[in-house]
C-alpha cells in the first residue's frame, strides 16, 4: 500500500497535511459538541435523557426498599399515596417505574455502547485492511443484518442462563451488524483520503492510523450510530422481557410490561399499570432520536428546514428593492 509514493520530496510535502488531519479531527469533534449544545432538538433530547438518568440514580433515595414489595391492596387507581397507582399484586407503579429505569437504561446503554464498539472494530479493520479480511467481515456483517433480530434474540436468550449479562450479550450479538456496516462505508471513504495516504507513507503503524487519523474524522457517524444502537437495544430489551425471556425477577420497564400483561391488567382496563413503563421507553427513545436528528442536521445542512415553505421546482424569487 505504501509503495505507491516513494519520492522523499512527497514525504516532506505531506508532513504538514498529516498533522492538520489530527488537528482538524479534534476541531471537528469539539465543534460538533458545541454546535449540538446550540441546537434546540439536541438540548431537548439531552435534557430528557439527563432527567431519566438522574431519576434512575436517585431511585433508592426517592423510593427506598424493595420496589417489588406489596404495599397496598391490588390494582388501586392513582392516588396521593400511590401517585401512579398499584399493580394487580399491590406494588407501587411509580416505584417499579423508577427502579425499572436503572436496569433498562443500564442494559440499553451498555448493549448500545458494546454494539457500537464491535461495529467500529469490525468496520474499521475491514475498511483498513481490505481484501480477504474485508470480504469475510462484510459477509458476516450482512448475514447478521439479514437474519431477523427478534427470533434470533429469542433462541439465544432461551438457551443462555437468564440474567442481565445474558440480555446484554444477546443484544450485542443481534445489534452490532448495523453499526459495522455504517462504520465500514464511512471508514472506506476516509481511507481513500490524502492524509491517510500521507500517514501510511510516513510509516505510521496501522493501529495508530486507524485510531488517530480515521476514527476521529468519523465522530459524527459514530455518534449517530451509538444513539441508534442504544435506541435499538432499549427497544429490543423491552421486547425480549415482554416475552418473558429476560430475568423476570429483575425490575425493568420490559418486565413491568410483562407482568402487566400476564396479570391481565390490560384486559381489566387498568391502564395506569402499563402506561408509565411504555411511556418511559418511548420518551427515552424519542430523546435519543432527537439527538440523532440534531447530529444529522448539523452534519448535513441540506436537511435543515428552510425558514419558508418552498416548492422544490419554484422559480428564482424576484425581489425588487427600489433604489438604494
Partner 1 sequence: MSVPVLEVQDLTVEYVSDERAVRGADRVSFTINSGEIFGLAGESGCGKSTIANSIMRLLKDPARITNGKILFDGKDVLGMDEASLRAWRWNNVAMVFQSAMNSLNPVTRIGEQFVDVIRTHRGGSRAEALSRAKELLQMVRIDPARLRAYPHQLSGGQRQRIVIAMACALNPRLLILDEPTTALDVVVQQEILEQIRELQTELGFAILFITHDMSLMLELSNRIGIMYGGRIVEMAPSEVLRDDSSHPYTQALLGAFPPLHGPRVKLTGLAEGTKFTDIQDLEEISQGHWVAPTNQPALSQGELS
Partner 2 sequence: MSFLLRRLGFYLLAFWASITLNFLLPRLMPGDPVTRMLSRSQQRLEPQQVEALRTLMGVDGGPIIPEYFAYLGRILTGDFGMSISRFPTPVSEVIASQLPWTLLLGLTSLIIAVILGNLLGILAAWRRGGFLDSVAPPLLVFIGSFPYFWLAMGALYIFGINMGVAPMRHAFSVGLVPGFNLVFILDVAAHLILPALTIVLVSLGGWMLGMRNTMIATNSEDYILMAEAKGLRPHRIMLNYAARNAMLPSVTSMGMSIGFIVGGALLTEVVFAYPGVGYQLLGAVQGLDYPLMQGMFLTITAAVLIANFLVDLVYVRLDPRVRKG
Residues that bind partner 2 (CB under 8 A): 139, 142-143, 145-156, 158-161, 231, 235, 238-239, 242-245, 257, 261, 266-267, 269, 271, 274-275, 277-278, 281-283, 285-286, 289-290, 293, 302-303, 305-313
CB of 44 to partner 2, least distance (A): 10
Give which of partner 2, partner 1, none residue 107 binds (C-beta under 5 to 8 Å, depending on kind).
Answer: none
Q: Is 320 in the site for partner 1 (CB under 8 A)?
A: yes
Give which of partner 2, partner 1, none residue 238 binds (C-beta under 5 to 8 Å, depending on kind).
Answer: partner 2
Q: Is 319 in the site for partner 1 (CB under 8 A)?
A: yes
Q: Is 40 in the site for partner 1 (CB under 8 A)?
A: no
- DSSP structural state of residue 272: H
**Do 250 and 103 contact (CB within 8 A), yes or no?**
yes
Q: What is the 3-state secondary structure (H, E, C) of 204-237?
A: CCHHHHHHHHHHHHHHHHHHHHHHHHHHHHHHHH
Q: Cell numbers of 83, please?
A: 401517585
Residue 86 pairs with which residues in a beta bridge?
A: 92
Query: How far is residue 267 CA from its own chain's centroid?
Result: 34
Give which of partner 2, partner 1, none residue 151 binds (C-beta under 5 to 8 Å, depending on kind).
Answer: partner 2
**Do 77 and 85 contact (CB within 8 A), yes or no?**
yes
Q: Of 146 and 314, which has the nearer Cβ to partner 1?
A: 314
Give which of partner 2, partner 1, none residue 211 binds (C-beta under 5 to 8 Å, depending on kind).
Answer: none
CB of 202 to partner 2, least distance (A): 36
DSSP 118-133: HHHHHHHHHHHH-HHH
The continuous run of DSSP H or E covering 165 comes out as helix 164-191
Rule CB under 8 A: which of 250-309 touch partner 1?
306
Dihedral angle computed from the Cα positions of residues 77, 80, 82 and 86, in that order, rounded to the nearest 10 degrees: -10
Cell 411509580 sits at which residue? 94
Q: Is 146 in the site for partner 1 (CB under 8 A)?
A: no
CB of 19 to partner 2, least distance (A): 33
Spatial distance between the Cα atoms of 80 and 44, rounded to a whole number of angstroms: 30
Quick one: which segment of 4-12, 73-81, 120-128, 315-323 binds partner 1 (CB under 8 A)? 315-323
CB of 70 to partner 2, least distance (A): 24
Quick one: which segment of 77-85, 108-116, 235-243, 314-322 binds partner 1 (CB under 8 A)? 314-322
Quick one: which segment of 87-95, 245-253, 280-288, 312-320 binds partner 1 (CB under 8 A)? 312-320
Longest dimension (CA), the chain: 84
The residues, any chain, with a CB within 8 Å of residue 180's CB and separated by 6 or more, are 118, 119, 120, 122, 123, 126, 137, 141
Q: Is 321 in the site for partner 1 (CB under 8 A)?
A: yes
Dihedral angle computed from the Cα positions of residues 92, 96, 99 and 104, in that order, rounded to the nearest 10 degrees: -170
Q: Is 131 in the site for partner 1 (CB under 8 A)?
A: no
CB of 306 to partner 1, least distance (A): 6
Footprint of partner 1 (CB under 8 A): 306, 310, 314-321
Amino acid at each position: 500500500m505504501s509503495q505507491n509514493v516513494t519520492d522523499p520530496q512527497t514525504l516532506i510535502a505531506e508532513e504538514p497535511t498529516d498533522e492538520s488531519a489530527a488537528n482538524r479531527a479534534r476541531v471537528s469533534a469539539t465543534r460538533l459538541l458545541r454546535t449540538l449544545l446550540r441546537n434546540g432538538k439536541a438540548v431537548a433530547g439531552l435534557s430528557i435523557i439527563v432527567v431519566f438518568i438522574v431519576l434512575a440514580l436517585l431511585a433508592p433515595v426517592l423510593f427506598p426498599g424493595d420496589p417489588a414489595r406489596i404495599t397496598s391492596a391490588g390494582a388501586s387507581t392513582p392516588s396521593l399515596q400511590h401517585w401512579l397507582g398499584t399493580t394487580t399484586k399491590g406494588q407501587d407503579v411509580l416505584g417499579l417505574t423508577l427502579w425499572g429505569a436503572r436496569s433498562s437504561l443500564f442494559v440499553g446503554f451498555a448493549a448500545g455502547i458494546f454494539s457500537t464498539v464491535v461495529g467500529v472494530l469490525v468496520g474499521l479493520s475491514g475498511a483498513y485492511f481490505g481484501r480477504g479480511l474485508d470480504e469475510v467481515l462484510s459477509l458476516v456483517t450482512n448475514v447478521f443484518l439479514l437474519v431477523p433480530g427478534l427470533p434470533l434474540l429469542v433462541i439465544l436468550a432461551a438457551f443462555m442462563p437468564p440474567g442481565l449479562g445474558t440480555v446484554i450479550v444477546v443484544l450485542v450479538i443481534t445489534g452490532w451488524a448495523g453499526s459495522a456496516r455504517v462504520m465500514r462505508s464511512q471508514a472506506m471513504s476516509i481511507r481513500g483520503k490524502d492524509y491517510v495516504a500521507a500517514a501510511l507513507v510516513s510509516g505510521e503503524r496501522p493501529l495508530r492510523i486507524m485510531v488517530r487519523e480515521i476514527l476521529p474524522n468519523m465522530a459524527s457517524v459514530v455518534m449517530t450510530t451509538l444513539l441508534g444502537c442504544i435506541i435499538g437495544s432499549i427497544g429490543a430489551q423491552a421486547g425480549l422481557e415482554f416475552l418473558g425471556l429476560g430475568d423476570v425477577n429483575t425490575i425493568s420497564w420490559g418486565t413491568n410490561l410483562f407482568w402487566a400483561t400476564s396479570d391481565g391488567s390490560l384486559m381489566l382496563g387498568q391502564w395506569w399499570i402499563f402506561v408509565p413503563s411504555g411511556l418511559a421507553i418511548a420518551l427515552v427513545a424519542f430523546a435519543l432520536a432527537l439527538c440523532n436528528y440534531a447530529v444529522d442536521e448539523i452534519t448535513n445542512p441540506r436537511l435543515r428546514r428552510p425558514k419558508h415553505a418552498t416548492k422544490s421546482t419554484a422559480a428564482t424569487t424576484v425581489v425588487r428593492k427600489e433604489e438604494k
